[in-house]
Amino acid sequence: MSILHRWLTPGHPELPVGKVVCVGRNYAAHALELGHAVPQRPILFMKPASAVVPLESPIDWPRAEGCCHFETELTLLIHRPLSHATPTEIRQAVAGLGIGLDLTLRDLQEQLKQAGHPWERAKAFDGAAPLSAFIPAEELSPWEPLQFSLDINGKRRQTGNTALMLFSFEKLLMEISQCFRLEPGDVVMTGTPQGVGPLDSGDALLLTLENRQFKTSVR
Ligand code: ZN
């Protein structure tokens, strides 16, 4: 398990791995592919620090629980406390940007949803948040439109652009900081675009964020 977040370039402050606040249905096309309405307020849930693993580590999950879906998401690394934050505080609080997978045990999540139970078993298990090293905000601005994608075994599966988010990074952090105090080392996963699907043993994944590439695979 990671103890400190990793930077893509050296010389940036060390930050402990904190909680991961996740956003559901932040891209309209993804909400629709799962048969949901577009939300009026961000749908928020969390993964604990124990779910975080380096993106490059082989992906695994409790196989007895059924299929595990990939959800490719941009991630924001927070380095200043944020509570009921203003836009200025928000812009100063994002230290870096990365890409990660919001791994989801979809069969189990469907059972839990139908029973009206919380999602943690499906979303917060050990290894459920593979995160790339972070790119410092000075090198890649989180406040400009950003393009990202996922290829599996050489085939494009997901393409995202932050211009298509229902709630911008700024709006998300404003809303999140009303509910949960964000601490240095916390991460926000900002939602997945359409195209989610199950992972298989041996899959080779290539994630891109602008011109950066990150590789991983399924055990
Ligand atoms: Zn997600």
CATH of the domain at 200: 3.90.850.10
**Average of pLDDT values for 21-39?**
92
86's tokens? 């203003």
Confidence of residue 2 (pLDDT cuts 50, 70, 90): low
The boundaries of the domain holding residue 28 are 20-217
**Average of pLDDT values for 10-34?**
94
Q: Is residue 8 part of a domain?
A: no
Nearest to 22 by CA among 71, 82, 88, 66: 71
Q: Is residue 2 part of a domain?
A: no
Give the Å distance between the CA of 26 and the centre of ligand 1.
Answer: 9
Give the Å distance between the CA of 23 and the centre of ligand 1.
Answer: 6
Q: What are the backbone angles phi and psi of residue 111, rounded to the nearest 5°?
A: -60, -45
| pTM: predicted TM-score of the whole model, two decimal places | 0.97
pLDDT digits (tens, 9 = 90+) for 31-88: 899 898 889 999 999 999 999 999 999 999 999 999 999 999 999 999 999 999 999 9
14's tokens? 């060390």
Give the Å distance between the CA of 193 and the centre of ligand 1.
Answer: 9
Please give the pLDDT value at position 1. Answer: 47
**Average of pLDDT values for 156-182?**
97
Q: Is residue 6 part of a domain?
A: no
State the Cα angle at 125 between 122 and 129, rounded to 5°: 100
- The upper half-sphere exposure of residue 143, i.e. CA atoms within 13 Å in the direction of its Cβ, equals 12
Nearest to 152 by CA among 197, 98, 103: 197
Give the Å distance between the CA of 71 and the centre of ligand 1.
Answer: 5
Q: Which residues place a Cβ less than 5 A from the ion ligand 1?
A: 71, 102, 192
Q: Is residue 144 part of a domain?
A: yes
> In total, how many domains does the chain have?
1
Give the Å distance between the CA of 117 and the centre of ligand 1.
Answer: 18
Give the Å distance between the CA of 93 and the centre of ligand 1.
Answer: 22
Q: Is residue 47 part of a domain?
A: yes
pLDDT digits (tens, 9 = 90+) for 87-142: 999 999 999 999 999 999 999 999 999 999 999 999 999 999 999 999 999 999 99
194's tokens? 């359409």
Give the Å distance between the CA of 69 and the centre of ligand 1.
Answer: 10
Give the Å distance between the CA of 11 and the centre of ligand 1.
Answer: 30
Q: Is residue 7 part of a domain?
A: no
* Amino acid, single-letter form, for residue 124: A
Q: Is residue 121 part of a domain?
A: yes
Q: What are the backbone angles phi and psi of residue 125, rounded to the nearest 5°?
A: -65, 165
Q: Is residue 51 part of a domain?
A: yes
